[in-house]
Amino acid sequence: MSTAEADLETEVRRLRIRIIGLNPRQLAEAGPNSPQTGAGMLSRRDTIAEALAQFSSIGSGGRPVPDLGDQSLADQVVVLIEDGMASSADLPETQRQESLELLLDAAIRLRRSLA
């Protein structure tokens, strides 16, 4: 297992705990580290939705991510990251590392944005 894979597994655990710990009110609010858009700060829910789309574009061919509700957000994050890790296994080593690093960077940004 590479360092990036081990770090991704750690981020998956952290994200699952962080997302599960958010109640509906907190999901609707912008976090102190939420990304800024032209319309203002993104809610935590929207931040997660954007991250889901990014995880999908990195490891799942950009397939649309369905809105399954707040109760499924943590599971969706985990599944898309793990799917990206699995799909990178078939790539040449250089591309595999790039893909894993992209997933890791996106996962870390999401976790920090949800703080």
Tell me the pLDDT tens digit for each residue of 70-113. Answer: 999 999 999 999 999 999 988 999 999 999 999 999 999 999 99
**CB of 44 closer than 8 Å to CB of 26:** yes
Task: State the pLDDT confidence band at 16, using cuts at 50, 70 and 90.
Answer: very high
**CB of 15 closer than 8 Å to CB of 77:** yes
